[in-house]
Structure 1
Amino acid sequence: MSWIVFNKLAAILIAVAIGWFVGRMRWLGDADAGGSGGDPARVLSNVAFYIFVPALLFRTTARVDFASLPWLTLAAFFLPVLGLLVAIYAFQRWRGAAVKGPAVPSVQAITATFGNTLQVGVPLAAGVFGEAGLAIHITVVSLHALSILTVLTLLVELDLARARSQQSPTGLGALLLNTVRNTVIHPVVLPVLAGLGWNALGLRLPAVLDEVLQMLGTAVVPLCLTLIGMSLAYLGWPRTWRAVLGLVAAKLLLLPALVLVFAHWGLGLTGMPLGVIVMMAALPTGSNALIFAQRYRCQEGETTAAVVVSTLVFVLTAPLWLALLQRIQV
């Protein structure tokens, strides 16, 4: 890896450390033990989830040129990623993890599959693969959050509706209607649908609206990084590390291996496109996983730890994947 990537990793950890220091000093107030949502970390998470993330998703979807997308490369990346996502979700439900909370399977799934495609991914793609590789990376990024967050929102809302129906029994029709309503009227799915509609109509974003959306979208990165540090300060490290290390291993080792096997030996992908998507799969867990966990008040400490640990371990695993790719493509 180049020094650019190392500098980016260092910058990420420094931003997290700043957030931790602010949380440790309680400069923004104490955590709300009553759970009413008034603690600073949760307030900042809600700001990101209800304002900044929707702006980013709507702008991205409204501007995507679907006609020129490299569909083979996208399929080579997203089919194994979404496949692992569903597999982890199903495994967690099978082993009874939902007993701890309806959102646990979905939070585990996003932690093991959602990569840090911007803060780490962009400089990695640019430094290793150059401008052409960065173009492929950005193309995949344009659908990354849209696909993963949309699928997981549907799954988690279905689980929440099922849990509510067990407490106060309702019919199947009411259960499905409730799930669809909560899935569509949602700060992730609704801006995606609105952006797709805008895109389908062939409309261009007015300059002022585009500027506003871009300004709001760029706030996601620094807010999420400091939020990780604040969450560490308020929640602390998890008491047990087995689940966290398992999720980190799935993200840094299992996911890129699945993408490599499926893309190269399954679809015959080679060269730069193969290298870009394998390294994208090998990225550490992204901060959106924490935003998702805090949205549903589930496993926030474990997700925070997975983000930090995977970012640190990525320094060791990334050179291994790069060496393997070079060996395969020689």
Structure 2
Amino acid sequence: MTWDLFFRLVALFGVIALGWVGARRRLLAGPDGLRALGNAAFLLFVPALLFRTMARVDLAALPWRLLAAFFLPVVGWLLLVWLWERRRLTHGGTMPLTPALAPQPTTRAISVTFGNGVQMGLPFSAALFGEAGLRLQVAIVSVHALILLSVLTVLAEIDIARASAQHSGRGHSLLATLATTVRQTVIHPVVLPVLLGLAWNLAGLKLPPQADETLQMLGQAVVPLCLVLIGASLAQHGLGPRWQAALGLALLKLFALPALVLVAAHWGAGLDGLPLAVVVIAAAMPTGSNALLFAQRYHVLEVEATAIIVLSTLCFAAAVPFWLWVLGWFGSP
């Protein structure tokens, strides 16, 4: 790890520490204040970031083969974790999901899938692989949140709609469940700005400079606000009584997911050299702060999501040298 990357990591934990101090000193108005900050991030700043990203991305210039080599195994991993967690909560499908637990499978799935591709991924790619690697990482980042958050939101809303229908005794008519799911999914602070941004992009429209600057300003608030929320959540809950389980999930994120991406990208998509290195290191990124926002949105596993973010970030320093050593066997830089 270079000194530049080390200081970036220190800065990241420094902002988290500010959130921790603010919560301990009661400068953030307690749990209600944290909930308000989380809502501001999820309902205002994240939608601005997603809409601007989707409206500006050059769809024709994206390296689609590399993106498929990364996102197909990552989404497959996400679905596997979601199915495993649903099966565990329903005792093998013999019990229905309760409305309170319905968002838990997707919340755990995001915690072991969604990587910190911006704060950690961009500087690490630039330092390890230079400008060529950075361009590939930017392509992944440009659609990372759009793809994963959209899939996760659809899954969460399906589970919630089904659980609510069963709990109310209305049964779970497929048509009614689909209607509820579509409504809740489309009118959602993650999916709606993605769809609107895509429509804007496909229409060939350009963002007016004033609107673009405003959206950029709002989007830039996502990273520091999320880091502050992580620190505040740590102050409020700590790592939780089951931090060992959170550590195990963090290690799955850092080692199992990149291994799956390595197999799929190399033997499935035929990637080698720099592209293979970029997708594997991107998969090995520690859990991103969107996992906590997702948990806060659905009021489940907030303590666990915080612990996984912190522990995976701490363990990332050991994961990177390991994966660079493994990639050396494949002729990657």
Per-residue deviation, 1:172: 2.9
Paired residue for 1:301? 303
Per-residue deviation, 1:196: 0.7
Per-residue deviation, 1:73: 0.3
**What secondary structure is seen at the aligned counterpart in 1 of 2:144?**
helix
Q: Partners in 2 of 1:277 and 1:8 — Cα distance? A: 21
Partner amino acid, structure 2, of 1:279 = I
Q: Percent identity?
A: 55
User: Is residue 117–residue 283 contact of structure 1 (8 Å, CA) maintained in 2?
Assistant: yes
Paired residue for 2:139? 139
Per-residue deviation, 1:209: 0.7
Matches within 5 A, 1:182-197: 182-197=184-199
Paired residue for 2:292? 290
Deviation string for 1:41-99 (max 9, x for gaps)?
11111000000000000001111111111111001100010000000000000111655
Paired residue for 1:327? 329
Partner amino acid, structure 2, of 1:309 = L
Q: Partners in 1 of 2:108 and 2:30 — Cα distance? A: 27
Per-residue deviation, 1:240: 1.4
User: Is residue 2–residue 128 contact of structure 1 (8 Å, CA) maintained in 2?
Assistant: no
Paired residue for 2:253? 251
1:90 aligns to 2:83 (yes or no): yes
Paired residue for 2:121? 121
Gaps of 5+ in 2: 91-96
Partner amino acid, structure 1, of 2:38 = S
Deviation string for 1:90-113 (max 9, x for gaps)?
000011165561111001100001
Partner amino acid, structure 2, of 1:101 = L
Q: Partners in 2 of 1:159 and 1:315 — Cα distance? A: 36
Matched residue pairs, number? 323
Instruction: Give the stretch that moved more between structures: 182-191 or 239-248.
Output: 239-248
Per-residue deviation, 1:3: 1.8
Alignment root-mean-square deviation, CA: 1.2
Give the TM-score of the pair, scaled to structure 1.
Answer: 0.95
Instruction: Give the stretch that moved more between structures: 295-304 or 4-13.
Output: 4-13
Q: Partners in 2 of 1:116 and 1:285 — Cα distance? A: 6
Partner amino acid, structure 2, of 1:285 = T
Partner amino acid, structure 1, of 2:137 = H
Q: Partners in 1 of 2:47 and 2:222 — Cα distance? A: 10
1:112 aligns to 2:112 (yes or no): yes
Q: Partners in 1 of 2:6 and 2:121 — Cα distance? A: 12
Deviation string for 1:195-221 (max 9, x for gaps)?
110011111111111111111000000
Instruction: Give the stretch that moved more between structures: 163-172 or 111-120.
Output: 163-172
Q: Partners in 2 of 1:151 and 1:172 — Cα distance? A: 19
Q: Partners in 2 of 1:68 and 1:325 — Cα distance? A: 27
Paired residue for 1:35? none
Give the TM-score of the pair, scaled to structure 2.
Answer: 0.94
Per-residue deviation, 1:242: 4.1
Instruction: Give the stretch that moved more between structures: 231-240 or 271-280.
Output: 231-240
Deviation string for 1:145-180 (max 9, x for gaps)?
000000000000111111111222333322211111
1:19 aligns to 2:12 (yes or no): no
Paired residue for 2:65? 72
User: Is residue 103–residue 159 contact of structure 2 (8 Å, CA) maintained in 1?
Assistant: yes
Per-residue deviation, 1:327: 2.7
Gaps of 5+ in 1: 32-38
Q: Partners in 2 of 1:246 and 1:137 — Cα distance? A: 27
Q: Partners in 2 of 1:292 and 1:135 — Cα distance? A: 28
